A and B are shown apart, each in its own frame.
Chain A
Amino acid sequence: MLRRVLQEIKGSTEPIDLNQLARNLKLERTVLDSMIEFWVRKGKLQDLQLEVAEAMACYSPSCGGSCSPTQCPHVGSMPRSFTIQLQE
């Protein structure tokens, strides 16, 4: 199932909503979340909120570093989103 999740995402041509993906795979939403987290840790998925927070670090110190992305005014209001990590 874990690998199905990644395949499903890779094979999609449309933006995917996590609720929809959980329904398609007949997975509990919280379980899907933990699988997504697994792939983020493995470096196969990118957590875009973290990426943006990192990219903003030199624009506004409150965005980068060790603080949470929610403290960054430009990132906090952004929806949490992920994408396939193309190259390592």
Chain B
Amino acid sequence: MPPLTIALAGNPNTGKSTIFNALTGSRQRVGNWPGKTIERKAGMFKHDGFELEIVDLPGTYSLSAYSLEEEIARDFIIKATPAGVVNVLDATNLERNLYLTTQILETGVPTMLVLNMYDQATARQYRIDTAALSTALHGILIVQTSASRGEGLETLKQTIVTFAQQQANRRKPHGRYPNQPHQPSCHV
């Protein structure tokens, strides 16, 4: 069975590629997105005997398929159906970054969050209640990192493995994600 694919998504300049490099090391393949001039980076991530393919998506502010970057990110999430999305956020810019998160969550793809740039958020005396954030987003997995300083990366690696294992167990061979609501809830 081929390894599961995990996509790194997030706003521009949040540290996706820094995290991508930290996860994949030298096991990278660089090419272009089909028919596009935008670089496509994919690589293998190995941890605890677990192997995953990681794809570094271009940074976008939304998933509306308005720009080339958005189209690539959205098509990948919707059509390539990765096992999960690791949404990288700039912790100093939480509100703007969370907008994309709501859109990613709406696609129904299993998602976990990385609050990157945590060093800067701390320097500015920002305090983020990750437990509350996780609860509000229905128990989403959250990791705090300062990727350029190498902080939080071990936890991140472990969490990604946990996250991927959850998906592997739930995933049907050829289907969408079975954990989706069968009946859209409607609070009347």
A–B direct touch, CB within 8 Å, in complex? Answer: yes
Within 8 A of A (CB), among B61-88: 61-62, 64, 66
Which of B93-101, B131-139, B177-185 lies at the interface?
B93-101
Considering residues B61, B64, B93, B96, which has the most beta carbons from chain A within 10 angstroms of its beta carbon? B96
Given contacts A34-B61, A37-B61, contact A28 B96 (CB under 8 A): yes
CB-CB under 8 A from A28, the residues of chain B are 93, 95-96
Q: State whether B99 touches A30 (Cβ < 8 A).
A: no
Interface residues on B, range: under 10
Q: State whether B95 touches A41 (Cβ < 8 A).
A: no
Q: State whether A41 touches B66 (Cβ < 8 A).
A: yes
Q: How far is the CB of A4 from chain B (nearest CB, A)?
A: 15
Closest residue on chain A to residue B67 by CB atoms: A41
A31 at the interface (CB under 8 A from B): yes
Interface residues on A, range: under 10
State the main secondary structure of chain A at its contact with B: helix
CB-CB under 8 A from A33, the residues of chain B are 96
Which B residues have a C-beta under 8 Å from some C-beta of A?
Answer: 61-62, 64, 66, 93, 95-96, 99
Q: List 12 A-B contacts (CB under 8 A).
A: A28-B93, A28-B95, A30-B93, A30-B95, A30-B96, A31-B95, A31-B96, A31-B99, A34-B61, A34-B62, A34-B99, A37-B61
Give 8 A-B pairs besides A28-B96, A31-B96, A31-B99 with Cβ atoms closer than 8 angstroms. Answer: A28-B95, A30-B93, A30-B96, A33-B96, A34-B96, A34-B99, A37-B61, A41-B66
Which A residues have a C-beta under 8 Å from some C-beta of B?
Answer: 28, 30-31, 33-34, 37, 41
